[in-house]
């Protein structure tokens, strides 16, 4: 696999004692799953790892879930975790590949270049009988500098403009039944369907056994969804988490996402925006 954003379990295991490499557990689960990422982290995590709570390190003033925080808040909270400037960050999650890409995307949006995702996540780490530890994972605070990349997080108006002008392809990572409006949204009060003109590539088609699919499979998935990887792409989903999986996979297809719609369907589907049902229309 040629995706430059992944590191292997072997790579991380060899660097567990390196003070400039830090593992970041970004585990998050949908409310109906009945799992809590922080609780599971305290029970078992990669040695030296810290827990990144996407709901807490967020802009909580909007009423929308895990929105990108201000650079000042992000820098403060990340510094408290013991992550400092110049460190290499390796994000992982307990599902293999679900929420870790959101953590990766967040650090990238804040100007961090040396951030990667652990290929296979915690499941692969455990399957290989690699060491773990328990506890809160506290480390000494460090100084972290955040520089928000302009345009990394797209607004609803940005998406509306892209759809109207064709300036970018909007790729929705939600399951096909939700995109078509045939299945209800897991969050109450949201319309069923999709943004008129959006394309649908369920994130589940890009993940197999907790790992990103191979490069060729990723390319075929984008082509089948009608996505031209040579043209600008903005990703979206239910709340901005699995949209990051699509952004990650784009780099396996030889492209790169131009941005991620942070509010995603949690914002768009709440009312005031046009909604379409049925399959995507070319």
* CA distances from residue 265 to 169, 198, 274 in whole angstroms, order as listed: 16, 12, 12
Is 235:200 a contact under the CB 8 Å cutoff? no
Non-local CB neighbours of 223 within 8 Å, separated by 6+ positions: none
**Helix segments in the chain, DSSP class H:** 9-13, 37-43, 71-81, 100-109, 121-127, 156-165, 176-180, 215-224, 243-250, 264-268
Is 226:71 a contact under the CB 8 Å cutoff? no
- The Cα 133–Cα 49 span in angstroms is 9
Is 56:28 a contact under the CB 8 Å cutoff? no
> How is residue 57 written in tokens?
């390190």
What is the end-to-end Cα distance of the chain in Å, rounded? 31
> How is residue 272 written in tokens?
């005031």
- The Cα 232–Cα 244 span in angstroms is 15
Per annotation, catalytic residue among 23, 75, 122, 237 = 237
Non-local CB neighbours of 164 within 8 Å, separated by 6+ positions: none
- The Cα 277–Cα 279 span in angstroms is 7
Assess whether 237 carries a catalytic annotation. Answer: yes
Residues in the chain: 282
Non-local CB neighbours of 69 within 8 Å, separated by 6+ positions: 57, 58, 59, 77
Annotated catalytic residues are 237
């Amino acid at each position: 696999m040629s995706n430059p954003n992944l590191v292997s379990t072997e790579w991380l295991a060899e660097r567990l004692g390196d003070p400039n490499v830090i593992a970041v557990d970004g585990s998050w689960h949908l409310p109906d799953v009945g799992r809590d990422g922080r609780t599971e982290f305290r029970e078992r995590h990669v040695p030296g790892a810290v827990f990144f709570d996407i709901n807490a390190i967020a802009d909580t003033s909007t009423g929308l879930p895990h929105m990108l925080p201000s650079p000042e808040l992000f820098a403060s909270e990340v510094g408290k975790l013991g992550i400092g400037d110049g460190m290499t960050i390796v994000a992982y999650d307990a599902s293999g590949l679900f929420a870790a890409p959101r953590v990766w995307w967040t650090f990238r949006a804040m100007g961090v270049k040396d951030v990667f995702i652990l290929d296979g996540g915690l499941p692969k780490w455990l399957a290989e009988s690699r060491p773990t530890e328990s506890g809160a994972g506290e480390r000494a605070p460090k100084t972290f500098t955040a520089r928000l990349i302009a345009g990394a997080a797209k607004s609803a108006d940005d998406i509306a403009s892209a759809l109207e002008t064709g300036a970018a392809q909007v790729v929705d990572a939600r399951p096909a039944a939700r995109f078509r409006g045939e299945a209800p949204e897991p969050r109450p009060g949201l319309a069923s369907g999709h943004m008129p003109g959006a394309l649908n590539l369920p994130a589940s088609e890009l993940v197999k056994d907790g790992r990103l699919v191979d490069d060729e499979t990723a390319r075929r998935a984008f082509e089948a969804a009608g996505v031209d990887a040579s043209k600008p792409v903005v990703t979206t989903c239910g709340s901005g988490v699995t949209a990051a999986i699509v952004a990650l996979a784009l780099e396996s297809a030889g492209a790169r996402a131009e941005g991620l719609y942070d509010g995603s369907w949690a914002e768009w589907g709440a009312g005031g925006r046009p909604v379409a049902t049925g399959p995507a229309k070319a």
